[in-house]
A and B are shown apart, each in its own frame.
Chain A
Amino acid sequence: MEKKFFEKTLEDYKDQVWGCARCNWCQNHWGWNVKSAEYSEICPAFGEFRFFAYSGMGKMHIARALLEGDFDYEDAPELAEIAYLCTTCGACEINCQRLQDKEPLKVTECLRAKLVEDGIGPMPAHKGLINSIKQYDNPWMQPRAKKASWAKKIKLKDASTEEVETLYFVGCTAALDLSLREVPQNTAQIMLKAGVDLGIFGNQEICCGSPVARIGDRKTFVDLANRNLELFNKRGIKEIVTSCAGCYRVLKFDYPEVPGTSKIEYKVYHTVEYLDHLIKQGKLVFTKEIPLVLTWHDPCHLGRHCGIYEQPRNVLSSIPGIKLVEMERIKDQAWCCGGGGGVRTAFIEFAVETAKKRIGEAMKTGAEGIVTCCPFCEQNMSDALAQMNNPLKLYDITELVMRAI
């Protein structure tokens, strides 16, 4: 039986790392879709640092050398930094898969796992995050009790005690970041209005494990995954909606890759996916006009990783008055906000610089605002907007939906 991803090691990718054809598509926008020289690159880390080591191809080469013992950790003092200056946006992965049938992102993640195992990784800044997860079940050093405080004024079922058709898995960031408070509030209210039988775990919701999965702390991740799966099974959860692109990817595609996991029993949706269903079913009707020109930012973990491209665009174009204009790099070729893969925790400057590039691209469309649906992207881009003193508005898609119903 084929190994699950979270038990694979670099050794399992030996043929891939030796075979990297160095085609360089891991750093570049898929050629057919390139619309300008300015936006023809795709790898945030190579874009910023300009040495090959920071690209997907770079990790392939480094992994090969490590596997063969060509150098050791003491020879390469910057190795951990190179491995962690990657947002795991997966742009390298999709282009390499399409062309070479190889998986540089998986190699990067295995490389990180190896570094963690050997005590070289993760970055010091990640250690606080891991401790927080271990201690509080969230990466934000917040007491568990705070996790439901956003929902104080909303009547929601408690899924840990009551039967619900749909579990709203809020995600730590949306639940705990005060600046994002409206995201879960809007989401819940929209759902309730559409007649969804919705509940939350509240204080009992634990981190999905996305941050630790991405930075290579597999032990912590597997533990969280098993706890979550146990909880879902215990409560008989059949359907999950989540606000977070990271949670979505993990619940949908990473849990099945945890060793020992059998078939996943629940269906998982991201909010935008669910909203799209509700609109199509006629359960969500827009009555108010929002006269705005907007552009959509595809969160990597939702778009490229999980294939959710059309649903948010459908939602936006069904709101009266909204004119959607596209950036050059979209969908599978979207430029990452810079926040993912533990980068925002360890390398905030790089994260924000990457977001600034995305905002620059959004500005070129002539849009008045940029819309997305991932708390991480929103955190990172709002920092960038503030630093740039940029008047461009940043919306979570639920805010617009809320305004229009």
Chain B
Amino acid sequence: MRPAKGVGLRDQDGFTRIVLIFFLVLFLAACATSLSRARYYLAQAQVRERSFQTAEATALYKRSLMEAERAVKKRPSAQAYLLQGLAEVRLSRWSEASRSFSLAASLGEDKAENWAREVSLYGLALSLEEQGLVESALRLYSVLSERGKFSPVVQAALGRLVDNRLAQLDGVPEKEREKILSKNIEIVGKALDSDPACGYYHYLLAQLLGHQQKYQESFQEAVMARELGLPTLEIHRDNDNYIVFCYRQLRESLTGEAWTEFRQTYRLWIEKWNWPDEETPDWKRR
């Protein structure tokens, strides 16, 4: 009986070990699955964002965030925190994102340290602006848009900077107005030099050139913005309205061959975009 008991105990130990290993494997697999799902949803969200499916993109960022949070709970790792931070940035949850990047950095993810700093500065600038400390906020936006390395923050800061500067144009003497506009065009131009494929920068440039009444250049930038993709459906529609506005302005100002040439180009674009006519974007009710 004894040997039989001994064998039984060994069997039991072995069984416990197998069960433990099985659960460990399951546990690790679950972590890996959460991580890979978080990564997958993040990539899918970016694809949706590029094709103006903003709401779907938001939903996917939220799913990515949920999976990353799950992975963090199960087994905190630099990569899980990094993914969590990336999703939070896309959902404009700046303070949470800064915390996630800091934690990723503390676990050895080098690039996350700078991202954490930039995200936290942007969050601070937003708070300052909300409290009416516009000049201090603008200084931070300016630093981030000129020296930032993390593109979502650079884009957001640049947008806020240009918006705020444009708000100061009203009632400003012509010379000062031109100075503000040129300075902003220079800043956006620099951003475009470093990321020429960013549709949002082209959109901002189109708006600025419109303020200078340079409608042909403004039109070209708006076309590029449309072709490269814009971050939200509303900006996309606003950009289309801007294209129509440029068309109307140029119809008044261009003559002869210049008008004929522009009109031909314009028609080619709207044909590509399936617009029913020159002044009706495809999404507008006929």
A and B: bona fide binding partners: no
